[in-house]
Chain A
């Protein structure tokens, strides 16, 4: 199960209704929240991808269950991409990719939403969404080097600061993040 903030039933509706309803629903969401859109219209797949691309909302992926397509979208925060990173210790995607084999001494912490994590992630990455991080700090080993990753480096920046404030001494923010990740990856559809 992919964790979502809202589920929208567009089963049986044909074009343009799935997109029209998705738009209305996403307007009501907070930035960063994830919506699952259930549709039976096959054309909704290409259209929802196109709509997300043109509006800037983040298309996460689609799963299929029988005749039902489940599209996952994350509402973008208009400031998210532009926000300046403040946490000083950063590492580039490529450098992290080279360090992945050193499993004994590192932790890759993925602070995106579970739905984002579900479709594409760095092998072995631990999933703790930014919103839950403060309450789950004990799950992360303080003795290891922690690499924090999100989509564009902005949520991971906030997460890195949070970790630093809580006594984590060896934390790196990974830039630019999963949006341009070319290293090894794994995915889980469901």
Chain B
């Protein structure tokens, strides 16, 4: 009997466990994006090469271990899993909902407490490398850089008796569709967006500005926006409770943001350098940096969190240690990875200019995020 494996279970193996994966999507999809992790081993054999039989792959499968068959949606992995099962392989699973579900699974982890009794959570979209945050205090919540799959936040808020008040995007996203506006409409909350990124939006929003404070809960938990252009011209970092620096797509744990996704690499490279080397360097070295992305599974620490002290990043992150401006310019404008899938359509969707249906949105988001200069 073949068994389904949920994206949640697969996520737990990625974070802390092991698993052998037979990925049956076509070669280019596999090459572009797959399930990875310390204990994950995977091979690729397209399902259409296995229609006549699975004999050729049998010898590649580990003996006595679980095998997860994964495909884009589910159907092909079920077919191949059944063939393996009939061929005598034990412990065969198929990925429930396929890579689609994997891309959409959000794993919430508590990062820490706030001084006034609240706390901050990181919602890790492991399959895509996107990170969003929920700040709660006194029964209220603010969600930052929320993913398209809004149910995860709504369910979390319900379970914890929280009223969603503020939806904040640190910048206009190009790699994923923001759930901020949808959540704001559903909860009658306020949607915040940097004005300079919102020039062409078709909806009402509150300007996320330097000096404004967003208060969550009855106790004062200030989110202090810090204007920090570079990845987009409006990019804004948030300092939560004087403890956490939500750096958006400006600074990551292992890398720094790329300035080219709106076609303005040359224009914005100077802003990016100024933000990182002048503005961020004046902030407290004890701030804990919480970025909007990670590039490698190894950036997730043993607690399951992507985080690092700002002081440590200034010592270890190569992107913060480039002395010459010219070298920096080259590093962030040359040899960039390919741009995210459908990034222009995603930007248009986030501006409200186009309204794709759910299937189309899902299609647009397929693949890795590629928001960092190196991966």
Q: A interface vs B, CB < 8 Å?
A: 14-17, 19-20, 23, 42-43, 46-47, 50-51, 54
A-chain residues with CB within 8 Å of residue B27 when the two chains form the complex: 50
A-chain residues with CB within 8 Å of residue B76 when the two chains form the complex: 15-16
Residue in contact with A16 in the complex, picked from B29, B79, B363, CB distance below 8 Å: B79
B-chain residues with CB within 8 Å of residue A47 when the two chains form the complex: 26, 46, 48
* Chain A to chain B contacts (Cβ below 8 Å), 27 pairs: A14-B73, A14-B75, A15-B47, A15-B71, A15-B72, A15-B73, A15-B75, A16-B47, A16-B71, A16-B75, A16-B79, A19-B48, A19-B51, A20-B51, A20-B79, A42-B363, A46-B28, A46-B29, A47-B26, A47-B48, A50-B26, A50-B27, A50-B28, A50-B48, A51-B46, A51-B48, A54-B49
Cβ of B345 to closest chain A Cβ, rounded Å: 14
Cβ of A46 to closest chain B Cβ, rounded Å: 5
Given contacts A47-B46, A50-B48, A54-B46, 12 further A-B contacts (CB under 8 A): A14-B75, A15-B47, A15-B72, A16-B47, A19-B47, A42-B363, A43-B72, A43-B73, A46-B29, A50-B26, A50-B27, A51-B49
Cβ of B163 to closest chain A Cβ, rounded Å: 39
Known contacts: A15-B75, A43-B73. The answer to whether A54 contacts B48 by CB under 8 A is: yes
Distance, CA A143 to CA B48, complexed state (A): 49
Distance, CA A177 to CA B350, complexed state (A): 48
Complex interface bits, B263-292 against A, C-beta within 8 A gives 1, otherwise 0: 000000000000000000000000000000
Cβ of A168 to closest chain B Cβ, rounded Å: 43
Cβ of B311 to closest chain A Cβ, rounded Å: 46
Cβ of A22 to closest chain B Cβ, rounded Å: 9
Considering the complex, give the chain A residue whose CB is closest to the CB of B24.
A16
Considering the complex, give the chain A residue whose CB is closest to the CB of B80.
A16
B-chain residues with CB within 8 Å of residue A42 when the two chains form the complex: 363
Q: In chain B between 69 and 116, which residues have their CB closer than 8 angstroms to a CB of chain A? A: 71-73, 75-76, 79
Distance, CA A42 to CA B360, complexed state (A): 11
Cβ of A104 to closest chain B Cβ, rounded Å: 46
Q: In chain B between 18 and 40, which residues have their CB closer than 8 angstroms to a CB of chain A? A: 26-29
Distance, CA A43 to CA B71, complexed state (A): 11
- Determine if B48 and A16 form an interchain contact, defined as CB atoms under 8 angstroms apart: yes
Cβ of B93 to closest chain A Cβ, rounded Å: 17
Cβ of B131 to closest chain A Cβ, rounded Å: 28
Cβ of B77 to closest chain A Cβ, rounded Å: 9
B-chain residues with CB within 8 Å of residue A20 when the two chains form the complex: 51, 79
With most chain A CB atoms within 10 A of its CB, the pick from B28, B47, B48, B71 is B48
Cβ of A151 to closest chain B Cβ, rounded Å: 22
Distance, CA A46 to CA B363, complexed state (A): 14
A-B pairs, 6 with minimum CB distance: A51-B48, A16-B76, A50-B26, A19-B48, A15-B75, A15-B76
Distance, CA A16 to CA B72, complexed state (A): 10
Considering the complex, give the chain A residue whose CB is closest to the CB of B46.
A50
A-chain residues with CB within 8 Å of residue B75 when the two chains form the complex: 14-17
Complex interface bits, B34-71 against A, C-beta within 8 A gives 1, otherwise 0: 00000000000011110100000000000000000001
Distance, CA A43 to CA B77, complexed state (A): 14
Considering the complex, give the chain B residue whose CB is closest to the CB of A13.
B75
Cβ of A29 to closest chain B Cβ, rounded Å: 16
Considering the complex, give the chain A residue whose CB is closest to the CB of B360.
A42
Considering the complex, give the chain B residue whose CB is closest to the CB of A50.
B26
Distance, CA A50 to CA B25, complexed state (A): 10
Distance, CA A15 to CA B47, complexed state (A): 10
Cβ of B51 to closest chain A Cβ, rounded Å: 6
With most chain B CB atoms within 10 A of its CB, the pick from A15, A23, A50 is A15
Cβ of B360 to closest chain A Cβ, rounded Å: 10
B-chain residues with CB within 8 Å of residue A14 when the two chains form the complex: 73, 75
Cβ of B150 to closest chain A Cβ, rounded Å: 24
Distance, CA A20 to CA B75, complexed state (A): 12
A-chain residues with CB within 8 Å of residue B72 when the two chains form the complex: 15, 43
Considering the complex, give the chain A residue whose CB is closest to the CB of B28.
A46
Considering the complex, give the chain B residue whose CB is closest to the CB of A49.
B26
Considering the complex, give the chain B residue whose CB is closest to the CB of A51.
B48
Cβ of A40 to closest chain B Cβ, rounded Å: 11
Considering the complex, give the chain B residue whose CB is closest to the CB of A41.
B73
Considering the complex, give the chain A residue whose CB is closest to the CB of B29.
A46
Distance, CA A50 to CA B363, complexed state (A): 19
A-chain residues with CB within 8 Å of residue B71 when the two chains form the complex: 15-16
With most chain B CB atoms within 10 A of its CB, the pick from A14, A16, A19, A42 is A16
Cβ of A71 to closest chain B Cβ, rounded Å: 13
Cβ of B201 to closest chain A Cβ, rounded Å: 29
Cβ of A37 to closest chain B Cβ, rounded Å: 13
Q: In chain B between 134 and 168, which residues have their CB closer than 8 angstroms to a CB of chain A? A: none
B-chain residues with CB within 8 Å of residue A16 when the two chains form the complex: 47-48, 51, 71, 75-76, 79
Cβ of A41 to closest chain B Cβ, rounded Å: 9
Distance, CA A23 to CA B52, complexed state (A): 10
Complex interface bits, B292-316 against A, C-beta within 8 A gives 1, otherwise 0: 0000000000000000000000000
